[in-house]
Amino acid sequence: MIRSLASCVLLFSLICQPALASVDDCPVIHGLGAYDWEPISYYDSNNTWQGVMPAVLREVGRELGFRLNDDEKLPWKRALLATEAGTMDVLGGAYFTEERARQFYYSTAVTAERIRVFTRSTDAEVTSLAQLSNRQGVRPAGGSYGDEMDALLDQLGVIEIRTGEQMLQMVSVDRADYGVLAEFDGLATRRVTRLDDDIVMAPLILDELEVYYLFSRRSSCADWLPAIDQVIDRMREEGVLDALHEREVYRLLDKLD
């Protein structure tokens, strides 16, 4: 149901997209993403935008003739506001929500992320939603896992915490029972916080959500979107997207070793 509803709204968003752009209209696309959503979007020690989303956009730019400028780095909520205002051209990436579909142009799906539950290693293994009832969950503040997942987490009473590191630390000291994070993001956060022995990823998969670019409706660079979507769809068919995602995952796993 969530996929069909999202597809309908997304189709409306795509139909409303402007015509194809030329390189003269927008030779440089100004983009940014989440600080620490590995391997989807993060910034390295040189403040360079890394991950699946900038990698795909750079590949697309090389083919179509635009350059990605990723000099800007902003907190998530400010990044959303800057993209909505047209100060930034594109934000990569985000899950689908109806509200955002009214604020931005959504691209075609670029990749997908499994949403997982992280618990204390001493707790019983979580294999069903029923086991989360009457237990305190935590999730990252300011973001969205899509309309239906957000509604489920609200129903479970999951509260927002500022960072993933704080979330897992709370779980480890019994101030919360579980944390909800994207799979690889959670594994990376567990390693950064040195909680590999204390925190485990439960077998339960809450959902698998597609990840998109958000293009500003106030930016002339949004005229690139139909062409960008065509290239991304072809990259998916040719296995290039899977290869780029796999490369970023291996890069993350090497860092975690």
Instruction: Let me know: does 228 contact 64? Beta carbons within 8 Å.
Output: yes
The overall longest dimension of the chain from CA atoms, in Å, is 59
Alpha helices in the chain (DSSP H): 2-15, 52-64, 76-85, 98-103, 147-155, 164-172, 183-192, 225-237, 240-256
Other Cβ atoms within 10 Å of 130 Cβ, number = 8
Residue 24 pLDDT level (bands cut at 50, 70, 90): low
pLDDT in tens, 92-149: 999 999 999 999 999 999 999 999 999 999 999 999 999 999 999 999 998 899 999 9
Q: How many Å apart are CA 72 and CA 214, to the nearest integer?
A: 16
Confidence of residue 241 (pLDDT cuts 50, 70, 90): very high
Could you tell me the pTM of the whole model?
0.88
Q: Residue 45's pLDDT band (boundaries 50, 70, 90)?
A: confident
50 Cβ partners below 8 Å, 6+ apart? 41, 42, 43, 44, 248
Q: Which of 210, 208, 39 shows the shortest CA–CA distance to 111?
A: 210
Q: Which of 243, 224, 219, 239 is nearest to 63 (CA)?
A: 224
Task: Give residue 180's identity as a one-letter amino acid code.
Answer: V
Residue-level pLDDT at 12: 44
Task: Give the separation between CA 14 and CA 42, rounded to whole angstroms.
Answer: 27
DSSP state of 211: E
48-83 residue pLDDT tens: 999 999 999 999 999 999 999 999 999 999 999 999
**20-48 mean pLDDT:** 86
pLDDT value at residue 254: 81
Report the percent of the chain where pLDDT is more than 90. Answer: 84
The structural domains of the chain, ordered by start, are 26-111+210-256 (3.40.190.10), 113-208 (3.40.190.10)
* Mean pLDDT for the chain overall: 90
Query: HSE of 132 in the Cβ direction (CA atoms, 13 Å)?
Result: 25
Whether a cis peptide bond, with omega within 30° of 0, leads into 142 is no
Strand-pair category, 137-140 with 159-161: parallel
163: exposed, middle or buried (C-beta count within 10 Å: 0-12, 13-18, 19+)?
A: middle
pLDDT > 70? residue 172: yes
Torsion, Cα of 70, 76, 82, 88 (10° steps): 20
